Amino acid sequence: MSSETRSTAQSTGDRLRIAIVTETYPPEINGVANTMRHLAEGMVARGHGVQLIRPRQPADPRHPEQSDRLDLHLVPGLPIPGYRGLRFGLPVYWRLRRLWHRRPADLVYIATQGPLGHAALSAAQALKIPTITGFHTHFQHYSRHYGLGALTRQIAETLRHFHNRSDATLVPTAELRDSLAAEGFENLHVFGRGVDVDQFAPDRRSAELRRSWGCAEDDLVALYVGRIAAEKNLALALAGFRAIQRQCPNARFVLVGDGPERPHLQQEHPDLIFAGARVGDELAAHYASGDLFLFPSLTETFGNVVTEAMASGLPVIAFDYAAAHANVQPWVNGVTVPVDAQESFIDICLECVGDRERLRRMGLEARKRALDIGWERVLGRVEEHLFAVIHRKRGQAESCHASLATTSE
């Protein structure tokens, strides 16, 4: 910590009361849910108290268990159209005001920009609680894949207005920070993403799982993990795999995940393996049992699956932005493709599988890189941001009070 941040931490007893507001959380399966779990559990492990505020999920008990450090508050929600299993929270502005009046928070972290997120930002500001928003999803990029391309500019303006109302916005990469700053977003700071290198590791490789895919040890398995949806650009991954298959007839393509595109893709490509959504040890085994990770998406804010694949010992082929830009060193631990050269994706797939020994070496280097980005280091930097925002907000309030006192005299 800097000396300024450290003094702030000491003034609050080194323990904060943090309200985390998110419209997605495990067991829901997506990158934002995973990041919020690490943030909530990581702050609790560091001794802070956490209020976790999220929509009630179908599997939630009527009276969920509470702990001394993790105080769970469930709010009403509705299903998100086109995103089976996900919900958005209703705008419970007055409920949040009553909660934070009764049990004040030192800071509110708002992860999502739905109705619940907007209500939380307004309630926190009414109570003069410092706020941080997280930029976790490129909604403006998703819009063109769901027939909303005409609204892209309006969506971008709404996002900018939302984030600029907060005291700071955390983004996953310096690259995204710079691009958002050019679009008029303010007070941007990097909240990098870590990876669980114990959960995702090469030793999770399973010969039995590979046999269930019809693969011998020497057969090549290309892997994709993520939502099976239009915005993930899966047609390009399929084209890349078909090119690989012509060179390596025994190669298999395993797609882990679920989504609206799965039924027709499964019907059109019956030889592919659609493993469905997997979590925990099963997910780790699927990663580690592959040989090459194909990730053609151009709509990621970060792309946690890239670092999970690297931690599992897989070289990644992905476009040169977000997680791949930050972590992939071309032809050392994977390969990045310029975002304006999609046709190169297929050529690189072929070049990678043309030298299986180089592919193996890149997988070893991918694991080494992942070991440098564990969650503990990332959360330490986030903690500093939390203290810094609180310190700055208090300083502004004290300055305002002093100015009013001088005026009244």
* Residues whose CB is less than 8 angstroms from the CB of residue 366 and which lie 6 or more positions away in sequence, other chains included: 309, 310, 311, 313, 314, 315, 316, 333, 334
* pLDDT for the residue 59: 81
Give residue-wise pLDDT tens across range 345-379: 999 999 999 999 999 999 999 999 999 998 988 99
Question: Can you tell me the mean pLDDT for 265-276?
Answer: 97
pTM comes to 0.85
> Does 5 have pLDDT greater than 50?
no
Choice between 77 and 83, residue whose per-residue pLDDT is larger: 77
Mean pLDDT to the nearest integer, 98-121: 96
When the pLDDT of each residue in the chain is averaged and rounded to a whole number, the result is 89
Residue 234: exposure state from Cβ atoms within 10 A (0-12, 13-18, ≥19): buried
pLDDT at 11 over 50: no
CA dist 10 and 50 (Å) reads: 19
Q: Which of 242, 237, 240 is nearest to 256 (CA)?
A: 237
Lowest mean pLDDT among 58-72, 189-203, 212-226, 314-328: 58-72
The DSSP 8-state label assigned to residue 325 in this structure reads: H
Residue 247 has pLDDT above 50, yes or no: yes
Q: Characterise 199 by phi-psi region: left (phi > 0), alpha (psi -120 to 50), beta (else).
A: alpha
What's the whole-number mean pLDDT along residues 160-186? 94
Predicted pLDDT of residue 409: 53
Name the packing angle between helices 3-11 and 375-408 (round to 10°): 80
Least confident of 87-91, 128-132, 152-156, 315-319: 152-156
Identify the structural domains of the chain with CATH numbers, from first to last.
3-194+374-408 (3.40.50.2000), 202-370 (3.40.50.2000)
Do 237 and 257 contact (CB within 8 A), yes or no? no
Which pLDDT band, with edges at 50, 70 and 90, does 408 fall under?
low
Instruction: Indicate the DSSP class of residue 57.
Output: P
Stretch 59-82: mean pLDDT: 81
269 CB neighbour count, 10 Å cutoff: 15
- pLDDT band, very low/low/confident/very high, at 62 (cuts 50, 70, 90): confident
Report the distance separating Cα 205 and Cα 286, nearest Å.
8
Q: What percent of the chain has pLDDT over 70?
A: 88
Q: Per-residue confidence at 187, pLDDT binned at 50, 70, 90? A: very high
**pLDDT at position 127, please?**
97
Residue 85: predicted pLDDT: 66
Distance of alpha carbon 86 from alpha carbon 247, whole angstroms: 40
For 288-299, write each residue's pLDDT tens digit.
999 999 999 999
- Torsion, Cα of 226, 230, 233, 237 (10° steps): 70
Cα–Cα distance measured from residue 63 to residue 71, given in angstroms and rounded to the nearest whole number: 12
Residue 51 has a pLDDT of: 96
Residue 147: what pLDDT?
A: 43
Average pLDDT over residues 399-408: 55
* Segment 117-158, tens digit of pLDDT: 999 999 999 999 999 999 976 444 443 434 444 445 777 788
The pLDDT score that the predictor gives to residue 60 is 85
**Amino acid making up residue 340:** D
Mean pLDDT to the nearest integer, 240-248: 97
* The pLDDT of residue 191 is above 70: yes
Question: d(Cα 55, Cα 52) in Å, to the nearest integer?
Answer: 10
Selected residue with higher pLDDT from 145 and 311: 311
